[in-house]
Amino acid sequence: MILDAIAATGHGARELGASSALLTRFAGAVVRSALTYPRTAFRLWWRSVINQVRFTAADAIPFVGTVAIAVGGIVIVEASAQAIKFGASDTLGRLLASVIVRELGPLLTAILVIGRSGTAIAAELAACRVYGEIDALEAMGVNPLHYFVLPRILGAAISVAALTVLFDAVTLTSGLLSARLIQNISLAEYVGSLKLAMRPSDIIAVTLKGAISGAGIAALCAFEGLRAGRAPTEIPQAVTRGVVDALLFVVALTGVFAVLRYL
């Protein structure tokens, strides 16, 4: 029993080590392929990037917007109720800035993008692997990282950065409306407390965090999609692995940004 547990731990550690090595090689290959991009493909490449932005950002606006409205209403009503109860309504802005704008907004946006676009990227690339599309292009001298991966990484980085800013803006606006309607907090009070807590550098940091999240989500989901074998049953497995990797990545990234802010 104990030996089995030790063996299972060892096996798990070995698998993790092998996956990490593969992921590191993949990251290196992605960077190298970005430097060796064929000039002839730039026009088609931009078209792929724009398609990715349309799918990941533009088409997701109603979904992300709805979630942002709900989150803004819930968090701000709850937070302002507590703040008023403890006579700390002047801290509301600081709370909103740190909880929603800096942390919850980027994290929730990234999670929504993982659910909507990360799964699509992993499933599409795994299906391409299963149906021989990647092998066929590779056999004809096309680097699959050029065609399948780089446009998705750039498109997702632009999309998540834009959606994060949108999410924060919609959340704060819906929070204002909720706070005014339910807690009767004035616009001046609300905006004043936000101004005290937020700096322009927050917007830059949030956009940067969104861009890194987006690039990471696309890269990890693409990595798992491309790793799929040749059986159709590997498609859902690749999607699951992609989602788990991407979730761990965005949570870790949130932690890193939080630590960096207070260093």
**CB of 200 vs other proteins, minimal distance in Å:** 40
Between 39 and 85, name the residue whose CB sits nearer to other proteins: 39
Distance of CA 260 to the CA centre of its chain: 19
Between 37 and 63, name the residue whose CB sits nearer to other proteins: 37
**CB of 77 vs other proteins, minimal distance in Å:** 44
Between 45 and 63, name the residue whose CB sits nearer to other proteins: 45
Between 151 and 175, name the residue whose CB sits nearer to other proteins: 151
- Pair of tokens at residue 232: 């159709």
Task: Give the whole-angstrom CA distance, residue 75 versus residue 110.
Answer: 18
The interface mask with other proteins, positions 192-231, x = CB under 8 A, is ----------------------------------------
**CB of 26 vs other proteins, minimal distance in Å:** 12
Q: Fill in the DSSP letter of residue 58.
A: G
Q: Restricting to residues 23-62, which ones interact with other proteins according to CB under 8 A? A: 29, 32, 36, 38-41, 43-44
The stretch among 7-15, 124-132, 168-176, 231-239 that binds other proteins (CB under 8 A) is 124-132
Please select the residue that binds other proteins; options are 102, 146, 209, 241, rule is CB under 8 A.
Answer: 146
Between 136 and 251, name the residue whose CB sits nearer to other proteins: 136
The stretch among 54-62, 137-145, 167-175, 241-249 that binds other proteins (CB under 8 A) is 137-145
Please select the residue that binds other proteins; options are 135, 187, 199, 256, rule is CB under 8 A.
Answer: 135
Tell whether the torsion through CA atoms of 245, 64, 179 and 93 is positive or negative: positive
Task: Give the whole-angstrom CA distance, residue 52 versus residue 92.
Answer: 37
Task: Give the whole-angstrom CA distance, residue 173 versus residue 68.
Answer: 9
CB 58 within 8 A of CB 258: no
Long-range contacts of 17-21, Cβ-Cβ distance < 8 Å, separation of 24 or more: none
**CB of 139 vs other proteins, minimal distance in Å:** 4
**CB of 220 vs other proteins, minimal distance in Å:** 21
Please select the residue that binds other proteins; options are 136, 182, 196, 258, rule is CB under 8 A.
Answer: 136
- Pair of tokens at residue 140: 């004809």
Between 117 and 171, name the residue whose CB sits nearer to other proteins: 117
Residue 251: half-sphere exposure toward Cβ, Cα within 13 Å: 6
Angle between helices 2-35 and 200-227 (to 10 degrees): 110
Residue 80: half-sphere exposure toward Cβ, Cα within 13 Å: 24
- Report which residue type is found at 238: A
Nearest to 167 by CA among 55, 70, 68: 68
Applying CB under 8 A, which residues contact other proteins? Answer: 29, 32, 36, 38-41, 43-44, 127-128, 131-143, 146-147
